Amino acid sequence: KAGVTQTPRYLIKTRGQQVTLSCSPISGHRSVSWYQQTPGQGLQFLFEYFSETQRNKGNFPGRFSGRQFSNSRSEMNVSTLELGDSALYLCASSFGDLSYNEQFFGPGTRLTVL
């Protein structure tokens, strides 16, 4: 069974630009979650999509948005990039409810904002 894949793996953008990251979950998984990981703040939950609907959302500004397609693939968009958005963005897929299901993480997309 193929794992969670994320594209691109590395990305360099400049302040003010916008970026879209992509995540393909494990086949059969309907839940896709996104996380931001930085040395200072650690791992932080961004949001979760289930069956094309945002089910849970963390405490991030509206510049961070996402969507999920009918095949469960998900995209995350960050608009008006700031230097502080430089981070490793991780995607995770799960069969069902986040609270009691195992999440499978992808390798992440390393975003650098200059």
Nearer to other proteins (CB atom), residue 16 or residue 104: 104
**Contacting other proteins within 72-111 (CB under 8 A):** 90, 92, 97-100, 102-108
Q: Decide: 79 and 18 in contact? Cβ < 8 Å.
A: yes
User: Could you tell me which of 28, 36, 14 has the C-alpha nearest to residue 114?
Assistant: 14
Q: 94: exposed, middle or buried (C-beta count within 10 Å: 0-12, 13-18, 19+)?
A: buried
11 binds other proteins (CB under 8 A): no
Query: Is the Cβ of residue 45 or residue 79 nearer to other proteins in the bound state?
Result: 45
Q: Does 42 bind other proteins (CB under 8 A)?
A: yes
- What string marks each residue from 51 to 70 as x (binds other proteins by CB under 8 A) or -? ----xxxxx-----------
Residue with tokens 């995540």, as numbered in its chain: 23
